[in-house]
Amino acid sequence: MKLLFINGVNLNLTGMREKDVYGSQTLEQINAEVAGHFKNDECIFYQSNIEGEICSRIHSAAGEGVNGIVLNAGAYTHYSIAIRDAIAAVSIPVVEVHMSNVHSREEFRHKSVLSEVCKGVIAGFGKNSYILAGESFKL
Ligand code: DQA
């Protein structure tokens, strides 16, 4: 399987920001663990802080034979209609993920504009949220 893991805004600072919420491992270390878990699959990792670049990466996945996209859009989750439309524009299944349990946090994090166009949502399992989301494409 070809899996694309997209991390959005501020997730490049994972391991450095709000360690009590997101843990102390860097995104690079988390990606390495995810790649190790999916060693029999092809994993592509992409991170951008820029909304339009995330949209373009979702678009280009369509021509690359990607079977599933695991998307942690960060704060864009809560308001990016552009990313929502990019997901709706491609036929690749997308699973929305969050490392933290967004429903146990501030009220503005309870709302996602992406969930409706995603196959499903996984939140609250730290780095394992990415693994659970990737595994979901195999069911
Ligand atoms: C997050 C949750 C978002 O609300 C937040 O803005 C993030 C990270 C998570 O992985 O828990 O940047 O997506």
Per-residue pLDDT 10s for the chain (139 aa) are: 999 999 999 999 999 999 999 999 999 999 999 999 999 999 999 999 999 999 999 999 999 999 999 999 999 999 999 999 999 999 999 999 999 999 999 999 999 999 999 999 999 999 999 999 999 999 9
In the reported structure, the alpha carbon of residue 59 is separated from the centroid of ligand 1 by a whole-number distance in angstroms of: 22
Contacts of 118 (CB under 8 A, 6+ apart): 71, 87, 94, 95, 96
Euclidean distance between CA atoms 111 and 135, whole angstroms? 25
Q: Using an 8 Å Cβ cutoff, are 10 and 17 in contact? A: yes
The answer to whether 37 is a known catalytic residue is no
User: Which of 78, 108, 109, 113 has the most ligand 1 atoms within 8 A of CB, as the residue to mutate?
Assistant: 109
CA of 99 to the centre of ligand 1 (A): 7
Q: How many Å apart are CA 85 and CA 99, to the nearest integer? A: 23
Q: Is 103 a catalytic residue?
A: no
Q: How far apart are CA 101 and CA 125, in angstroms?
A: 7
Which residues have CB under 8 Å from 72's CB, separation 6+? 6, 7, 8, 11, 96, 97, 98, 99, 129, 130
Which residues are within 8 A (CB) of 75 and not within 5 positions of it... i.e. 6 or more apart?
Answer: 8, 9, 10
Neighbours of 37 (CB within 10 A): 16
Task: Tell me whether residue 105 is exposed, middle or buried, using C-beta atoms within 10 angstroms of its C-beta: 0 to 12, 13 to 18, 19 or more.
Answer: middle
**Is the whole model's pTM more than 0.95, yes or no?**
yes
Find the helix or strand (DSSP H, E) in which 34 lies: helix 27-37
Q: Which of 99, 104, 111, 131 to mutate to test the pocket of ligand 1 (most atoms within 8 A of CB)?
A: 99
Choice among 46, 76, 98, 130 that is catalytic: 98
Model confidence pLDDT, tens digit, residues 83-119: 999 999 999 999 999 999 999 999 999 999 999 999 9
Distance 75 CA to ligand 1 centre (A): 6
